[in-house]
Amino acid sequence: MSDSAATTAATAADFAGGPPLARDAIRRLPGSKIREVANAGMGLNDVLAFWFGEPDLVTPAFIREAAKTALDAGDTFYRHNLGLPELRACLSEYASRLHGRVDVDRIAVTSSGVNALMLAGQLLLSPGDEVVAVVPLWPNVTEIPRILGANVTRVPLHIDPATQRWTLDLDRLLAAITRSTRMVIVNSPSNPTGWVMPREQMAALLEHCRRAGVWILSDEAYERLVFDGSLQAPSMLDLAGPEDRLIVANTFSKSWQMTGWRLGWLVVPPTLLDDLAKLIEFNTSCAPGFVQQAGIVAVRDGESVVRSFVDELCRRRDALVGALRAIPGLEVGEPEGAMYAFFRVDGQRDSLALAKALVRERGLGLAPGIAFGAEGEGFLRWCFAKPAELLVDGAARLRTHLGR
């Protein structure tokens, strides 16, 4: 047996002998630290759960009825990769109303907002590509590039001492964009911080990326959830045209309380639409027709749902932020949008341990800041899409725990 054959045999035997495992890149992906805290609270009674990003409201009945009607009508067959033409037309009209003309040849329906982000990544990211992301950030947004073999450079937000608001140092973001950058990811309004990117910063980023030939992936899942009365955050769609290197991801989950439906959409340059249709074919093929029928009704007839949800969210935000700011030693950045307070607890260096202690000892379920990246260490995230009395009760539990 030659040396080479001996080596081969040994390698194969070693490999065959080990346990069956996923590839290293997947094993290295961190598990959800939010879920780790939730698991720590398993089986406990009287837990106030604010850890997940989900409204407490069931999807409005008229939206559910549309799905039921479609099921009765036998809408149980494959649908077009890009979505039902009627839904795409509704989304084109909706986006055009909010942002100026967005033609239907830029719109694709996806199997959830996170699926929209995955598709955007698959469209653009090759192994070894460089991505720049504004953080702290919902972990899915930064893990998807890593699954696809890309590297992520993180540019942190900070709380401005003067305004107590989350703020981006734009120069720092632009400086992080190098010749090897393929894509910049922005999420505004932001999960977990509630930061809303000012229109002027968006314009400057777009201008810079145009010159550099860099893509922008804008996750606008929370675009309707802002508390300045405008009912829409600044959007990259307000500024960019169909020829720009821009992909905007959106979802039905938050605006219309449809988290469990797994329905979202993408706005892309028309030159990407055929390639996107191919990728949808290879990921989920299409969203269910009866789910899309519910989406049509939500977009077309759901404006009052959005309004009353935002009104209620604003009251809840004020209740929570007020209660938290009354606790000494908390630094609470004002959430201008989304549905989270992301706040620093003075003297805490281990948010995961703190969150676990809070659920075990006080029945208070919060997400640890570290779940959103190293920049989130020392913070906690609190979803305030819950009844105000529960928020106030929770704040009292936190105060007790901290002994302040």
Q: How far apart are CA 195 and CA 333, in angstroms?
A: 9
112 binds its own copies (CB under 8 A): yes
- Subset of 225-284 contacting its own copies (CB under 8 A): 243-246, 257-262, 269, 271-272, 274-279, 281-284
Please answer whether residues 289 and 263 qualify as being in contact, where contact means their C-beta atoms are separated by less than 8 angstroms: no
Residue number with CB closer to its own copies (227 or 256): 256
The type of residue at 329 is G
Q: Which one, 28 or 349, has the nearer CB to its own copies? A: 28
In the list 91, 134, 155, 287, the residue contacting its own copies (rule: CB under 8 A) is: 287
User: Is 240 or 330 the residue whose CB approaches its own copies more closely?
Assistant: 240
The footprint of its own copies on residues 351-380 (CB under 8 A) is none
Q: Please list, in sequence order, all residues whose beta carbon lies within 8 angstroms of the beta carbon of residue 291, skipping any fewer than 6 positions away.
A: 67, 261, 262, 263
290 binds its own copies (CB under 8 A): yes
Do strands 151-156 and 130-135 pair parallel, antiparallel, or not at all (unpaired)? parallel
If the CB atoms of residues 114 and 306 are measured against its own copies, the closer one turns out to be 114
Distance in Å, CB of 276 to its own copies, minimum: 8
Minimum CB–partner distance for residue 15 and its own copies (Å): 3
Touching its own copies, residues 141-160 (CB under 8 A) = 143-144, 147, 149
Using CB under 8 A, which of the segments 107-115, 295-303, 348-356, 393-401 binds its own copies?
107-115
Residue among 81, 338, 93 at smallest CA distance from 220: 338
Query: To the nearest whole angstrom, how small is the minimum distance from the Cβ of residue 58 to its own copies?
Result: 4
Return the sign of the alpha-carbon dihedral for residues 311, 316, 319, 323.
Answer: negative
- Is position 164 an interface residue for its own copies (rule: CB under 8 A)? no
Toward its own copies, which CB reaches closer, 178 or 230? 178
Note whether 75 binds its own copies by CB under 8 A: yes
- Using the contact rule CB under 8 A, the part of the chain among 43-51, 56-64, 198-206, 341-349 near its own copies is 56-64
Cβ of residue 67: shortest distance to its own copies, in angstroms? 6
Mode of pairing for the β-strands spanning 264-267 and 246-251: antiparallel
Q: Which of 129, 315, 338, 316 is nearest to 219 (CA)?
A: 338
> How far apart are the C-alpha atoms of 385 and 234, rounded to whole Å?
22
Query: Least distance (Å) from its own copies to the CB of residue 108?
Result: 13
Q: Residue 333 Cβ, how far from its own copies at the closest point, in Å?
A: 26
* 125 in contact with its own copies (CB under 8 A): yes
Among 82, 104, 107, 114, binds its own copies (CB under 8 A): 114
- In the complex with its own copies, which residue's Cβ is closer, 368 or 378? 368
Binding segment (CB under 8 A) for its own copies, from list 71-79, 226-234, 359-367, 382-390: 71-79
CB of 227 vs its own copies, minimal distance in Å: 24
Nearest Cα to 196, choosing from 122, 274, 134?
134
Q: Taking CB under 8 A as the rule, does residue 207 contact its own copies?
A: no
Q: What is the nearest approach in angstroms of its own copies to the Cβ of residue 140? A: 5
Residue 136 touching its own copies (CB under 8 A): no
Using the minimum distance from each CB to its own copies, give the nearer residue, 365 or 378.
365
**Contact set for its own copies, span 314-343 (CB under 8 A):** none
- Compute the residue count for the chain: 404
Burial class for 85, CB neighbours closer than 10 Å (0-12, 13-18, 19+): exposed
Give the C-alpha separation, 90 to 390, whole Å. Answer: 37
Q: Are 267 and 95 in contact (CB under 8 A)?
A: yes
How far does CA 236 lie from the centroid of its chain?
16
Per CB under 8 A, 51 contacts its own copies: no
State in angstroms the smallest separation of the CB of 75 from its own copies.
Answer: 7
